[in-house]
Structure 1
Amino acid sequence: MIISRAQDNGRKRHIAVDTLGLLLRVIVTAASVQDRDGAHPLLARLRTKFTIALVWADGGYAGRLLAWARDVLHLTVTIVKRSDDLRGFVVLPRRWVAERTFAWLTRYRRLVRIYERKPEHHEAMIWWATVHQMTRRLTRELAGQPPHGRWSDPPPLPELSSTDRRGKVLEILAAQPWRAWKGAELAAILGIENVNSFRVQLSQWSHQGYINKIGPALYGPMPTRA
């Protein structure tokens, strides 16, 4: 398990993730709170829900936290340190997993800045974004399509048999139901030059119930009903 933090707008987000980068616990504190002090309630909440023995943390959590976690929670906290000989950006072992999770979260517009007055409200927004991430992963698995590798190309699209534009869009969305398509991507496949007009048309189709708008300018097929 890895813990890390990010600071923004007078607040700090302390997160605990597993080795895949999936969120386990989050706590939001004031920016004036020391990292190791913010980790106390984070680890305490984590210990009540999960069976863990080893925790990796960045250098901000060094100090009294290690002894407290060992004596009180029976956890081994290992600090991932940056070498003094390194210069510039360097990917640190284990720590990059938590940094990637922060990058996933900041893809949501509501989490780019902290707008909520109460910390627990912002924690709820982080959990909401995490639920959306997990449901998208489950959708890929249920569709029989695992996530693509980091450097692999997506599977090719089948030949489109429809003659009208809407039918072609429906075929593309149905061919890869786990994917969220941008309007510009669909326009490039169909050879449409006026992308803005095509985006308006996609929005109209979503209101009419032909396609599903799953995010800002992101589209997918309508969910199947059991």
Structure 2
Amino acid sequence: SKTWVDKGFKNTVVEHGAALGIDVEVVPRKTGTRGFHVIKRRWVIERSLGWLMLHRRLARDYETLPASSEAMIHIAMIDNTAKRITGETTPTWRDPR
């Protein structure tokens, strides 16, 4: 397993990941660039979190058990994948219809 973290995480995260058998890579910002820019591999996480936030139940922390929250994340990602495979979408309040 491998995970990427931003520079805000210190060596304790790397050490904790090593203890769990996870390769933790710290992704630094580009020093010469100001404002927003895409950072290697970090956009994947931002995009995935954006997809999850489209599901109303995940927009707030309603679940009391971590297993329930994990199940809701699985359901949301299955829904996203099914929409991509079939090309169908369900109307939402964001649709201009």
After TM superposition, is the score higher than 0.5? Answer: yes
The CA deviation string for residues 195-218 of structure 1, in whole angstroms up to 9 with x for no partner, is xxxxxxxxxxxxxxxxxxx4547x
Tell me, in whole angstroms, the C-alpha distance in 1 between the residues paired with 2:18 and 2:61: 33
Give me the CA root mean square deviation: 2.5
Which stretches in structure 1 are left out of the alignment for 5+ residues?
1-51, 140-177, 181-213, 218-226
1:79 aligns with 2:35: no
Instruction: Tell me the equivalent position of 2:4.
Output: 56
Gaps of 5+ in 2: none
Amino acid in the other structure paired with 2:85: L
Task: Report the identity percentage.
Answer: 34
More relative contact order, 1 or 2 (CA 8 Å, 6+ apart): 2
1:21-68 Cα deviation digits (max 9, x unpaired): xxxxxxxxxxxxxxxxxxxxxxxxxxxxxxx3x432222433123234
* Larger Cα-atom Rg: 1
2: CA distance between counterparts of 1:179 and 1:118? 32
- 1 CA distance for matches of 2:42 and 2:85? 26
Q: Which residue of 2 aligns with 1:179?
A: 88
Name the count of aligned residue pairs: 93
Provide, for residues 102-161 of structure 1, a one-character-per-residue CA deviation record: whole Å limited to 9, x for no partner.
Answer: 11111112222222333332222211101111222333xxxxxxxxxxxxxxxxxxxxxx
TM-score (structure 2 length as normaliser):
0.70
More strand by share: 1
Q: Say if 1:67 and 1:116 are closer, same or farther in 2 by CA, change over 3 A.
A: closer
For residue 132 of structure 1, the aligned residue among 76, 79, 89 is 79
